[in-house]
Chain A
Amino acid sequence: MNSNIWVLMSADSVALATTLILAALGALFTERSGVLNLGIEGILLTSAITSFIAADSSGSIWLGLVVGSLLGAVLAGIHAVLAVTLRANQIVSGLALVIFGTGLANFLGKPYEGKNIETKILPLSFGPLTDIPVVGPVLFGQDPITYLTVALAVGASWYLFRTRPGLELRATGDDPATVDAQGLKVSSIRIRYTLAGGAMVGLGGSWLMLAESAAWHQAATTNGIGWIALALVVFASWRPIRLIAGAILFGFTLQLPFTLQAENITFIPQAFLQMVPYAVTLISLIALSRPGSSNALGAPRALGTPFVRDER
């Protein structure tokens, strides 16, 4: 057996995990404030194509990343206005965002179909470290955004559990009435984290396009990663550190079918393997939508519930 391809696969899983972590982290911050944004997939797709267009027309990958992230925040802003300010049903608003985002992305992407971008985000090189067999490419052969993402997840954990704003954020997701009675502004907190979450998802979508130097293939570009990210948050019990582990695991399962095919290992049907991450996603999203079990999983208590001071 060719051990090289397994190393490559591990490296690729880590890379795929980058998008997953960014998208899931965005969802996590949003949900920790009590807002459920099911529109992650829509944001991913739209930010992917806009970052592509921006990078392609300006020639700057970094500009692409910035534009993609901003667009993520803008789309999440639509959800924030609907869900927080107008207190619309968050599930409906989130699903609408998926449909809107997918449509918009397909429209914008029409002229770019199948086209590849010239430059890409280059992996960093740590000299001899990167050359260490197996461990080298996985740990020391990634690009700057991947390292940034891991740092972001670790920082998110610190922020959530060790800082004052983190305390206020968690309280807002669990018990907005209490936060309100303390004189903090529930809606402002929720809007801020929904926007910040959207920007993280946007960065994830942009990175998926630009770092992998992928071509635009409509909805197949993200391939449901947005939904997997939502499931990942459930798996991680809304804790950023667990998110990293979960993302690598999901990244690995997403890559596995391709590697096995390359290795000509066929005793497990390919279609079955490809299905696994999505089946797991489906199951965890069902768990999320059942109030009793989602609480046991550690979901923010007020997740998906609009806050009104005067209503009883």
Chain B
Amino acid sequence: MSNTSSEVAKGPHHSGGAAPSALSARNITKRFPGVLANDNVDFDVRPGEVHTLLGENGAGKSTLAAMLCGLYQPDSGTIARNGAPVVLSSPRAGLSHGIAMVHQHFRLVERFTVAENVVLGSRDLSYTLKRAELNDRVAEVAERYGLPVDPSATVGDLSVGQRQRVEIVKALYQGAEILLLDEPTAVLVPAEVEKLFENVHAMTATGKSIVFISHKLGEVVEISDRVTVLRNGRVTGHVSGRGSADTRELARLMVGRDIDLAVQRASHATGHEVLQIRDLSLTVNGIDVLSNISFNVHEGEMVGIAGVAGNGQKELADTIAGLVSPTSGSVSIGGSMSTDRGPIAARELGLAYVPEDRLGMGLVPSMSILDNLLLTRDRDTVVDRASVRPEANRLIDQFEIKANGPEHLARKLSGGNAQKVLLARELSGGRTATKLLVVCSPTRGLDVGAIETVRRLLDDARSAGQAILLISEDLDEIMSLADRILVLYRGAIVHETAGESAQLTTVGAAMAGLSQEVQK
């Protein structure tokens, strides 16, 4: 059963609307320059429940959480703890009311030990540190909630899942009654997610409240007692009932329309070869990163390169883009050799490149959207912004980029919008019309709405006759988009299949190196 809005939830630990909220926020509004991040938001958590904040990237989830823990101050609105109004003027004030946040980007000092991190900033810490005693105290708290951590381990040596556990132990050590977990599963592998959910249950069982932030529908349905959906800073719905919420309904509330991730493979005739790769090999420090790779990509065709990360994908893309010179073999774009001629030559032959590292390699974070566009447009000595501004405005509209104009800094964009800017720049062509598009993990880390848009944009580009090389670790993405699939394993192509007839098991086995079949 899922009931929308205003109706009272019946969580497993409570029997009605009479339970007082452990924490409640009323009419919260928060504005950043040019962005209304939270608009009149109401939110509350009861003791012992998991209340999820669901929303796409940029919906305002982190901002709301930051105000609930005292990191940011709301422009207007009130926050109450156990019914009594409180002002959370700093994270310290939040902690003193028993509210702690585990940030999306962990706040841990890598060089410190687990125990040092846990006690950092805690108020009852004595002037001189007694390590043995601190280690014992930290271990004791960790054990109480079934969160095994080694207090004397250095945080820099720990896995992401372990670090997250340290963060939770830290919050509990500081006496948190309400824990805000900002996208905790984004960095975890499935087994770790299971473990985290066990920890969440252990905490709620002792009466602690969890605010769980996510944009992944499946896990939200699994873990939440109640769900509040945010879109563009506004609450679009409340849904309740553990395990019974309707994912389609949640998706609609989150994105604002029905969504469909399965892009149809467009049927179209493929033209002549745009990218030709012949016997390409690359040796780095004596290791064969790419060996004897040959394939073509035709006009209007999308070729997918599947494989587990680190099997040569990045090197292949960089070689095609002219950033790396191969040890042997050749690359030609549109019939002209581009090997060893560098990135500018490759672009002049019609290459567009969307690297995996959007804000490092793709865009210059500290520059505006406009200036990022200019990078591939204008090679004159004197920069002519005025000539590109109309195009920038047009692309912002066409690609539905959420930004306050062409002057918006790239680093202030959400992941999905940064990716859209990058795609907009690359797909629209620079001084040469784009013939070949090389894209790496184009939807990694994006929310459903943005994934849908990006996939549609790629599909449109294919229909428009551009040749596309899609390099992705997301097998589902490749299976649903690519006309032809090549599997890269240890730098070699070990499997090739047509998109329509591809079998998940065969491709998966090839990615794991279990395939005997070698190309041709």
Bound Cα distance A153, B90 (Å): 35
Q: Which of A171-179, A242-250, A267-275 contacts B (4 or more CB under 8 A)?
A: A171-179
Best-buried of A163, A167, A170, A301 by chain B (most CB within 10 Å)? A167
Which listed residue (A164, A181, A312) contacts B107, Cβ 8 A?
Answer: A181
User: Which of A288-312 touch B at CB < 8 Å?
Assistant: 301, 309-310, 312
Bound Cα distance A184, B129 (Å): 18
Contacts of A182 in B (CB 8 A): 91-92, 107, 120-121
Bound Cα distance A168, B90 (Å): 17
Bound Cα distance A175, B129 (Å): 20
Best-buried of B95, B101, B129 by chain A (most CB within 10 Å)? B129
Which listed residue (B32, B91, B110) contacts A175, Cβ 8 A?
Answer: B110
Bound Cα distance A174, B95 (Å): 23
User: Which of A252-285 touch B at CB < 8 Å?
Assistant: none
Interface membership of B427, Cβ < 8 A: no
**Contact call A164/B129, Cβ cutoff below 8 A:** yes
Bound Cα distance A261, B121 (Å): 55
In the complex formed, the residue of A with least CB distance to B69 is A181
User: Which of A170-196 touch B at CB < 8 Å?
Assistant: 170-171, 174-175, 177-184
**Contact call B127/A175, Cβ cutoff below 8 A:** no
**Contact call B412/A183, Cβ cutoff below 8 A:** no
Contacts of A183 in B (CB 8 A): 70, 90-95, 121
**Contact call A171/B107, Cβ cutoff below 8 A:** no
**Contact call B103/A181, Cβ cutoff below 8 A:** yes
Interface membership of B303, Cβ < 8 A: no
Bound Cα distance A162, B127 (Å): 9
User: Which of B306-347 touch A at CB < 8 Å?
Assistant: none
**Closest beta carbon of chain A to B112's beta carbon, Å:** 7
**Contact call B129/A167, Cβ cutoff below 8 A:** yes
On whether A168 and B121 interact (CB within 8 A), knowing A175-B107, A178-B108, the answer reads yes
Which listed residue (A178, A181, A184, A301) contacts B71, Cβ 8 A?
Answer: A181
Bound Cα distance A85, B64 (Å): 28
Interface membership of B505, Cβ < 8 A: no
**Contact call B90/A174, Cβ cutoff below 8 A:** no
**Contact call B121/A179, Cβ cutoff below 8 A:** yes
In the complex formed, the residue of A with least CB distance to B365 is A312
User: Please, what's the 1-or-0 string for B60-77, where 1 marks a CB less than 8 Å from any CB in chain A?
Assistant: 000000000011000000
On whether A164 and B412 interact (CB within 8 A), knowing A175-B107, A182-B92, the answer reads no
In the complex formed, the residue of B with least CB distance to A172 is B109
Bound Cα distance A168, B121 (Å): 7
Which listed residue (A171, A175, A177, A312) contacts B412, Cβ 8 A?
Answer: A312
User: Which of B20-73 touch A at CB < 8 Å?
Assistant: 32, 70-71
Bound Cα distance A167, B122 (Å): 11
On whether A175 and B121 interact (CB within 8 A), knowing A163-B129, A182-B92, A183-B90, the answer reads no
**Contact call A171/B129, Cβ cutoff below 8 A:** no
Contacts of B110 in A (CB 8 A): 174-175, 301
**Closest beta carbon of chain B to A143's beta carbon, Å:** 31
Bound Cα distance A163, B121 (Å): 12
On whether A174 and B126 interact (CB within 8 A), knowing A181-B91, A183-B90, the answer reads no
**Contact call A163/B120, Cβ cutoff below 8 A:** no
Main secondary structure of the interface of B (DSSP, over half): loop
Q: How many residues of B contact A (CB 8 A)?
A: 30
In the complex formed, the residue of A with least CB distance to B359 is A312
**Contact call A164/B127, Cβ cutoff below 8 A:** yes
Bound Cα distance A183, B120 (Å): 10
**Contact call B128/A168, Cβ cutoff below 8 A:** no
Interface membership of B116, Cβ < 8 A: yes
In the complex formed, the residue of B with least CB distance to A158 is B128
Best-buried of A165, A171, A183, A310 by chain B (most CB within 10 Å)? A183
**Contact call A162/B107, Cβ cutoff below 8 A:** no
Which listed residue (A163, A180, A309) contacts B128, Cβ 8 A?
Answer: A163
**Contact call B95/A171, Cβ cutoff below 8 A:** no
User: Which of B107-149 touch A at CB < 8 Å?
Assistant: 107-112, 116-117, 119-121, 125-129
**Contact call B120/A162, Cβ cutoff below 8 A:** no
**Contact call A168/B91, Cβ cutoff below 8 A:** no
**Contact call A164/B125, Cβ cutoff below 8 A:** yes
Bound Cα distance A180, B66 (Å): 13
**Closest beta carbon of chain A to B123's beta carbon, Å:** 9
Contacts of B116 in A (CB 8 A): 167
Bound Cα distance A163, B134 (Å): 12
On whether A162 and B129 interact (CB within 8 A), knowing A174-B110, A175-B108, A181-B91, the answer reads yes
Interface membership of B411, Cβ < 8 A: yes
Bound Cα distance A1, B378 (Å): 74
Contacts of B411 in A (CB 8 A): 312
In the complex formed, the residue of B with least CB distance to A177 is B107
**Contact call B127/A163, Cβ cutoff below 8 A:** yes
**Closest beta carbon of chain B to A303's beta carbon, Å:** 13
In the complex formed, the residue of B with least CB distance to A182 is B121
Contacts of A165 in B (CB 8 A): 127
Bound Cα distance A183, B126 (Å): 17
On whether A164 and B126 interact (CB within 8 A), knowing A178-B120, A182-B120, the answer reads yes
**Closest beta carbon of chain A to B337's beta carbon, Å:** 35
In the complex formed, the residue of B with least CB distance to A171 is B109
Bound Cα distance A164, B103 (Å): 24
26 sample A-B contacts, Cβ–Cβ < 8 Å, listed by A number:
A163-B129, A164-B127, A164-B129, A165-B127, A167-B119, A167-B120, A167-B129, A170-B111, A171-B112, A174-B111, A174-B112, A175-B110, A178-B117, A179-B121, A181-B101, A182-B91, A182-B92, A182-B107, A183-B90, A183-B94, A183-B121, A184-B92, A301-B110, A301-B111, A309-B71, A312-B412
Query: Given A163-B127, A175-B107, A183-B121, 18 more contacts at CB 8 Å?
Result: A163-B128, A163-B129, A164-B126, A164-B127, A167-B112, A167-B129, A174-B111, A175-B109, A177-B107, A178-B107, A178-B117, A178-B120, A179-B120, A179-B121, A181-B103, A301-B110, A301-B111, A309-B71
What 7 A-B pairs have minimum CB-CB distances, sorted nearest first? A183-B92, A182-B121, A178-B107, A183-B91, A181-B107, A175-B109, A164-B125
Residues on B lying within 8 angstroms of A by beta carbon are 32, 70-71, 90-95, 101, 103, 105, 107-112, 116-117, 119-121, 125-129, 411-412
